Amino acid sequence: MTVSASRVRRSVRDSLAAAGIESADAESARIVADVLGVEPARLPLAPDPTDDQLDRIEQFAARRVAREPLQHILGWVGFRHLTLEVGPGVFVPRPESEVLVDAALAALADDELAGMPAELRVPRAIVVDLCAGSGAIGLAIADECAGVQVFAVEREPDAFLWLERNVQAQHERLAARRSEVLPVQADATDNPVPDLTGRARLVTCNPPYIPDDCDPRDPEVALHDPAAALYGGTDGLDVVRGVCRTAAVLLRPGGVLAMEHGDVQGGGPTAADPGVPGVLRDSGWYGDIRDLPDLTGRPRVTVARRR
Ligand SMILES: C[S@@+](CC[C@H](N)C(=O)[O-])C[C@H]1O[C@@H](n2cnc3c(N)ncnc32)[C@H](O)[C@@H]1O
Protein backbone atom coordinates (compact mmCIF):
# COMPACT_ATOMS: atom_id res chain seq x y z
CA MET A 1 0.00 0.00 0.00
CA THR A 2 1.34 3.44 -0.88
CA VAL A 3 1.14 6.53 1.25
CA SER A 4 1.13 10.11 -0.02
CA ALA A 5 3.92 12.62 0.62
CA SER A 6 1.44 14.91 2.36
CA ARG A 7 0.36 12.17 4.74
CA VAL A 8 3.96 11.24 5.58
CA ARG A 9 4.70 14.88 6.15
CA ARG A 10 1.78 15.20 8.61
CA SER A 11 3.00 12.19 10.52
CA VAL A 12 6.56 13.61 10.75
CA ARG A 13 5.13 16.97 11.84
CA ASP A 14 3.18 15.33 14.68
CA SER A 15 6.27 13.44 15.90
CA LEU A 16 8.40 16.60 15.88
CA ALA A 17 5.70 18.64 17.62
CA ALA A 18 5.38 15.94 20.31
CA ALA A 19 9.16 16.25 20.86
CA GLY A 20 8.70 19.97 21.60
CA ILE A 21 10.06 21.31 18.31
CA GLU A 22 8.38 24.68 17.74
CA SER A 23 8.91 24.82 13.99
CA ALA A 24 7.61 21.26 13.46
CA ASP A 25 5.45 22.31 10.52
CA ALA A 26 8.23 23.88 8.44
CA GLU A 27 10.84 21.30 9.47
CA SER A 28 8.66 18.30 8.59
CA ALA A 29 8.10 19.79 5.14
CA ARG A 30 11.83 20.35 4.76
CA ILE A 31 12.71 16.77 5.78
CA VAL A 32 10.21 15.10 3.45
CA ALA A 33 10.95 17.49 0.57
CA ASP A 34 14.70 16.96 0.92
CA VAL A 35 14.38 13.16 0.75
CA LEU A 36 11.99 13.38 -2.23
CA GLY A 37 14.18 15.96 -3.98
CA VAL A 38 11.46 18.60 -4.37
CA GLU A 39 10.84 22.07 -2.97
CA PRO A 40 8.65 22.04 0.17
CA ALA A 41 5.95 24.07 -1.61
CA ARG A 42 5.59 21.27 -4.20
CA LEU A 43 5.03 18.45 -1.69
CA PRO A 44 1.26 18.19 -2.40
CA LEU A 45 2.15 17.39 -6.04
CA ALA A 46 5.03 15.01 -5.29
CA PRO A 47 4.77 11.31 -6.23
CA ASP A 48 4.22 8.86 -3.36
CA PRO A 49 7.51 8.09 -1.56
CA THR A 50 9.17 4.73 -2.31
CA ASP A 51 9.93 2.29 0.51
CA ASP A 52 13.57 3.45 0.56
CA GLN A 53 12.47 7.05 0.80
CA LEU A 54 10.05 6.22 3.61
CA ASP A 55 12.89 4.53 5.53
CA ARG A 56 15.08 7.57 5.09
CA ILE A 57 12.34 9.97 6.18
CA GLU A 58 11.76 7.82 9.26
CA GLN A 59 15.48 7.88 10.13
CA PHE A 60 15.68 11.65 9.66
CA ALA A 61 12.57 12.20 11.79
CA ALA A 62 13.93 9.95 14.58
CA ARG A 63 17.20 11.92 14.65
CA ARG A 64 15.32 15.20 14.77
CA VAL A 65 13.07 13.91 17.58
CA ALA A 66 16.33 13.18 19.45
CA ARG A 67 17.05 16.93 18.95
CA GLU A 68 19.90 16.63 16.45
CA PRO A 69 19.93 19.93 14.51
CA LEU A 70 17.94 19.77 11.29
CA GLN A 71 20.93 21.20 9.41
CA HIS A 72 23.21 18.35 10.57
CA ILE A 73 20.63 15.79 9.47
CA LEU A 74 20.23 17.34 6.02
CA GLY A 75 23.94 18.21 5.77
CA TRP A 76 23.31 21.73 4.57
CA VAL A 77 21.97 25.14 5.55
CA GLY A 78 20.76 28.05 3.46
CA PHE A 79 22.43 31.37 4.30
CA ARG A 80 21.63 34.50 2.25
CA HIS A 81 21.84 33.25 -1.36
CA LEU A 82 24.14 30.32 -0.61
CA THR A 83 23.76 26.68 0.33
CA LEU A 84 26.53 25.68 2.74
CA GLU A 85 27.62 22.28 4.02
CA VAL A 86 27.49 21.83 7.79
CA GLY A 87 27.73 18.98 10.28
CA PRO A 88 29.41 17.92 13.52
CA GLY A 89 32.36 20.16 14.43
CA VAL A 90 31.08 23.41 12.97
CA PHE A 91 28.66 26.10 14.17
CA VAL A 92 25.40 26.21 12.22
CA PRO A 93 25.01 29.74 10.76
CA ARG A 94 22.01 31.59 12.18
CA PRO A 95 19.52 33.96 10.50
CA GLU A 96 20.52 36.68 13.04
CA SER A 97 23.91 36.93 11.32
CA GLU A 98 22.20 38.36 8.24
CA VAL A 99 22.29 41.71 10.11
CA LEU A 100 26.06 41.45 10.25
CA VAL A 101 26.24 40.76 6.51
CA ASP A 102 23.95 43.73 5.79
CA ALA A 103 26.19 46.00 7.92
CA ALA A 104 29.28 44.68 6.13
CA LEU A 105 27.81 45.29 2.67
CA ALA A 106 26.76 48.81 3.69
CA ALA A 107 30.34 49.51 4.86
CA LEU A 108 31.78 48.29 1.55
CA ALA A 109 29.40 50.51 -0.38
CA ASP A 110 30.45 53.52 1.70
CA ASP A 111 31.72 56.35 -0.52
CA GLU A 112 33.89 57.86 2.19
CA LEU A 113 36.22 54.87 1.94
CA ALA A 114 36.41 55.10 -1.85
CA GLY A 115 37.70 58.66 -1.37
CA MET A 116 40.75 57.58 0.63
CA PRO A 117 44.28 58.60 -0.45
CA ALA A 118 45.55 56.59 -3.44
CA GLU A 119 48.47 55.07 -1.55
CA LEU A 120 46.02 53.40 0.83
CA ARG A 121 43.84 51.93 -1.91
CA VAL A 122 44.17 48.28 -2.92
CA PRO A 123 43.23 46.61 -6.24
CA ARG A 124 40.49 44.57 -4.59
CA ALA A 125 38.81 45.50 -1.32
CA ILE A 126 40.37 43.37 1.41
CA VAL A 127 37.98 41.93 3.98
CA VAL A 128 38.92 39.76 6.96
CA ASP A 129 36.25 37.54 8.52
CA LEU A 130 37.47 36.46 11.96
CA CYS A 131 36.03 33.34 13.66
CA ALA A 132 34.80 32.16 10.26
CA GLY A 133 33.29 28.74 11.13
CA SER A 134 31.58 27.33 8.02
CA GLY A 135 32.56 30.52 6.15
CA ALA A 136 28.97 31.77 6.01
CA ILE A 137 29.67 35.46 6.59
CA GLY A 138 32.78 35.80 4.44
CA LEU A 139 31.27 33.77 1.61
CA ALA A 140 28.05 35.79 1.66
CA ILE A 141 30.01 39.06 1.50
CA ALA A 142 32.13 37.78 -1.40
CA ASP A 143 28.96 36.61 -3.16
CA GLU A 144 27.04 39.85 -2.76
CA CYS A 145 29.85 42.37 -3.27
CA ALA A 146 31.78 41.94 -6.49
CA GLY A 147 35.56 42.19 -6.46
CA VAL A 148 36.42 41.51 -2.83
CA GLN A 149 39.16 39.34 -1.40
CA VAL A 150 38.06 37.80 1.90
CA PHE A 151 40.50 36.19 4.33
CA ALA A 152 38.44 33.79 6.47
CA VAL A 153 40.20 33.06 9.78
CA GLU A 154 39.24 29.99 11.82
CA ARG A 155 41.31 28.35 14.57
CA GLU A 156 39.57 25.04 15.23
CA PRO A 157 40.72 22.14 12.98
CA ASP A 158 37.27 20.52 12.63
CA ALA A 159 35.56 23.78 11.73
CA PHE A 160 38.42 24.65 9.36
CA LEU A 161 37.70 21.51 7.31
CA TRP A 162 34.09 22.65 6.78
CA LEU A 163 35.35 26.14 5.89
CA GLU A 164 37.71 24.75 3.25
CA ARG A 165 34.98 22.54 1.83
CA ASN A 166 32.52 25.43 1.49
CA VAL A 167 35.13 27.75 -0.02
CA GLN A 168 35.98 25.12 -2.61
CA ALA A 169 32.30 24.50 -3.41
CA GLN A 170 31.63 28.22 -3.98
CA HIS A 171 34.87 28.97 -5.84
CA GLU A 172 33.44 29.17 -9.36
CA ARG A 173 30.40 31.17 -8.30
CA LEU A 174 32.64 33.72 -6.55
CA ALA A 175 35.17 33.85 -9.40
CA ALA A 176 32.34 34.90 -11.70
CA ARG A 177 31.90 37.89 -9.35
CA ARG A 178 35.68 38.58 -9.34
CA SER A 179 35.68 37.73 -5.64
CA GLU A 180 37.55 35.09 -3.68
CA VAL A 181 37.68 33.68 -0.16
CA LEU A 182 40.97 32.44 1.29
CA PRO A 183 40.81 30.20 4.39
CA VAL A 184 43.45 30.89 7.06
CA GLN A 185 43.83 28.55 10.04
CA ALA A 186 44.95 30.81 12.88
CA ASP A 187 43.98 32.39 16.18
CA ALA A 188 41.83 35.45 15.52
CA THR A 189 43.04 37.12 18.72
CA ASP A 190 46.74 36.90 17.85
CA ASN A 191 47.49 38.86 14.69
CA PRO A 192 46.40 36.02 12.35
CA VAL A 193 47.35 37.63 9.00
CA PRO A 194 50.34 39.95 9.65
CA ASP A 195 50.78 40.66 5.90
CA LEU A 196 47.48 42.53 5.92
CA THR A 197 48.47 44.99 8.66
CA GLY A 198 46.77 48.32 7.97
CA ARG A 199 45.26 47.11 4.67
CA ALA A 200 41.79 45.71 5.46
CA ARG A 201 38.82 47.79 4.48
CA LEU A 202 36.45 45.73 6.58
CA VAL A 203 36.76 43.23 9.44
CA THR A 204 33.74 41.11 10.36
CA CYS A 205 33.36 38.74 13.26
CA ASN A 206 30.73 36.55 14.87
CA PRO A 207 32.76 35.45 17.91
CA PRO A 208 31.91 32.99 20.67
CA TYR A 209 30.26 35.27 23.24
CA ILE A 210 28.36 33.18 25.80
CA PRO A 211 29.69 33.53 29.39
CA ASP A 212 31.32 30.27 30.52
CA ASP A 213 28.79 29.64 33.30
CA CYS A 214 25.70 29.95 31.06
CA ASP A 215 24.11 26.76 29.73
CA PRO A 216 22.33 27.12 26.39
CA ARG A 217 18.68 26.03 26.79
CA ASP A 218 18.20 24.22 23.48
CA PRO A 219 19.75 20.72 23.20
CA GLU A 220 20.58 21.43 19.55
CA VAL A 221 22.99 24.15 20.75
CA ALA A 222 24.21 22.60 24.01
CA LEU A 223 24.94 19.17 22.51
CA HIS A 224 25.81 19.89 18.90
CA ASP A 225 27.41 23.34 18.47
CA PRO A 226 31.14 23.10 19.31
CA ALA A 227 32.09 24.63 22.69
CA ALA A 228 34.74 26.79 20.99
CA ALA A 229 31.97 28.39 18.93
CA LEU A 230 29.89 29.29 21.98
CA TYR A 231 31.89 30.24 25.07
CA GLY A 232 33.84 33.48 25.47
CA GLY A 233 35.23 33.44 29.02
CA THR A 234 33.85 34.68 32.34
CA ASP A 235 31.89 37.61 30.92
CA GLY A 236 31.66 36.20 27.39
CA LEU A 237 33.85 39.00 26.00
CA ASP A 238 37.34 37.42 25.97
CA VAL A 239 37.39 36.76 22.22
CA VAL A 240 35.64 40.11 21.60
CA ARG A 241 38.54 41.91 23.34
CA GLY A 242 41.11 39.95 21.29
CA VAL A 243 39.24 40.65 18.05
CA CYS A 244 39.05 44.35 18.95
CA ARG A 245 42.89 44.37 19.09
CA THR A 246 43.35 42.30 15.92
CA ALA A 247 40.93 44.43 13.90
CA ALA A 248 42.70 47.61 15.03
CA VAL A 249 45.94 46.19 13.58
CA LEU A 250 44.37 44.96 10.32
CA LEU A 251 42.13 47.89 9.44
CA ARG A 252 43.36 50.83 7.46
CA PRO A 253 42.34 54.27 8.79
CA GLY A 254 38.60 54.68 8.22
CA GLY A 255 38.09 50.92 7.84
CA VAL A 256 35.10 49.34 9.51
CA LEU A 257 34.76 46.63 12.17
CA ALA A 258 31.35 44.89 12.32
CA MET A 259 30.94 42.42 15.18
CA GLU A 260 27.95 40.32 16.20
CA HIS A 261 27.16 39.90 19.90
CA GLY A 262 24.58 38.47 22.31
CA ASP A 263 21.34 40.38 22.77
CA VAL A 264 22.46 41.54 26.25
CA GLN A 265 25.86 42.75 25.01
CA GLY A 266 24.76 45.90 23.19
CA GLY A 267 26.04 48.06 26.09
CA GLY A 268 24.15 49.01 29.25
CA PRO A 269 23.77 52.45 30.84
CA THR A 270 26.61 51.94 33.36
CA ALA A 271 30.36 51.42 33.02
CA ALA A 272 29.90 48.04 34.72
CA ASP A 273 27.98 46.80 31.70
CA PRO A 274 30.04 48.01 28.72
CA GLY A 275 28.94 45.36 26.23
CA VAL A 276 30.75 45.22 22.90
CA PRO A 277 30.33 48.99 22.19
CA GLY A 278 32.03 49.69 25.56
CA VAL A 279 34.97 47.39 24.77
CA LEU A 280 35.54 49.19 21.46
CA ARG A 281 35.09 52.65 23.01
CA ASP A 282 37.51 51.93 25.89
CA SER A 283 40.18 50.70 23.48
CA GLY A 284 40.49 54.22 22.04
CA TRP A 285 41.08 52.81 18.53
CA TYR A 286 37.57 53.28 17.17
CA GLY A 287 35.08 56.07 16.59
CA ASP A 288 31.60 56.34 15.09
CA ILE A 289 30.46 53.37 17.23
CA ARG A 290 26.87 52.23 16.63
CA ASP A 291 24.83 49.25 17.65
CA LEU A 292 22.27 47.66 15.30
CA PRO A 293 19.21 45.54 16.15
CA ASP A 294 18.35 42.17 14.62
CA LEU A 295 15.06 41.39 12.85
CA THR A 296 13.31 41.00 16.23
CA GLY A 297 14.56 44.40 17.48
CA ARG A 298 17.20 43.01 19.87
CA PRO A 299 20.72 44.55 20.00
CA ARG A 300 22.87 42.34 17.78
CA VAL A 301 25.76 43.97 15.87
CA THR A 302 28.26 46.67 16.82
CA VAL A 303 29.77 48.69 13.97
CA ALA A 304 32.75 51.00 14.46
CA ARG A 305 35.26 52.88 12.32
CA ARG A 306 39.05 52.66 12.83
CA ARG A 307 40.36 56.10 13.75
C1 LIG B 1 29.81 31.72 16.81
S2 LIG B 1 30.83 30.79 15.73
C3 LIG B 1 30.61 31.75 14.23
C4 LIG B 1 30.93 30.99 12.98
C5 LIG B 1 30.54 31.74 11.69
N6 LIG B 1 31.21 33.00 11.60
C7 LIG B 1 29.06 31.96 11.64
O8 LIG B 1 28.59 33.07 11.90
O9 LIG B 1 28.33 30.98 11.34
C10 LIG B 1 32.46 31.25 16.29
C11 LIG B 1 33.61 30.56 15.55
O12 LIG B 1 34.84 31.10 16.06
C13 LIG B 1 35.80 30.07 16.16
N14 LIG B 1 36.79 30.54 17.14
C15 LIG B 1 36.68 30.61 18.50
N16 LIG B 1 37.77 31.18 19.02
C17 LIG B 1 38.59 31.50 18.00
C18 LIG B 1 39.87 32.13 17.91
N19 LIG B 1 40.52 32.56 18.98
N20 LIG B 1 40.41 32.28 16.68
C21 LIG B 1 39.78 31.84 15.55
N22 LIG B 1 38.56 31.24 15.59
C23 LIG B 1 37.98 31.08 16.79
C24 LIG B 1 35.00 28.87 16.57
O25 LIG B 1 35.68 27.67 16.30
C26 LIG B 1 33.73 29.07 15.73
O27 LIG B 1 33.89 28.46 14.47
Q: pLDDT tens digits for 159-188?
A: 999 999 999 999 999 999 999 999 999 999
Instruction: Render pLDDT for 1-55 as a digit per residue (tens, 0 to 9).
Output: 789 999 999 999 999 999 999 999 999 999 999 999 999 999 999 999 999 999 9
User: How far apart are the CA of 248 and the centre of ligand 1, in A?
Assistant: 18
Identify the helix (H) or strand (E) that includes residue 263.
none
Whether 239 lines ligand 1, by a CB cut-off of 6 Å, is: yes
- Residue ranges with strand state E in 193-284: 200-205, 251-260
Flag whether pLDDT at 124 surpasses 90: no
Question: How close is the Cα of 218 to the center of ligand 1, in Å?
Answer: 19
Going from the C-alpha of 276 to that of each of 20, 252, 266, 268, the distances in angstroms are 34, 21, 6, 10
Q: How confident is the model at residue 270 (pLDDT cuts 50, 70, 90)?
A: low
Q: Is the C-beta atom of 132 inside 6 A of ligand 1?
A: yes
Predicted TM-score (pTM) above 0.85: yes
CA distance 4 to 298: 42
Which residue's CA is the nearest one to ligand 1's atom 4? 133
Task: Provide the pLDDT for residue 1.
Answer: 72
Supply the residue whose CA is at minimum distance from atom 23 of ligand 1.
131
- State in Å: Cα 135 to ligand 1 middle: 10
Q: Please tell me if the CB atom of residue 92 comes closer than 6 angstroms to any atom of ligand 1.
A: no
Instruction: Kindly state if the Cβ of 228 falls inside 6 Å of ligand 1.
Output: yes
Is the CB of 184 inside a 6 Å radius of any atom of ligand 1?
no
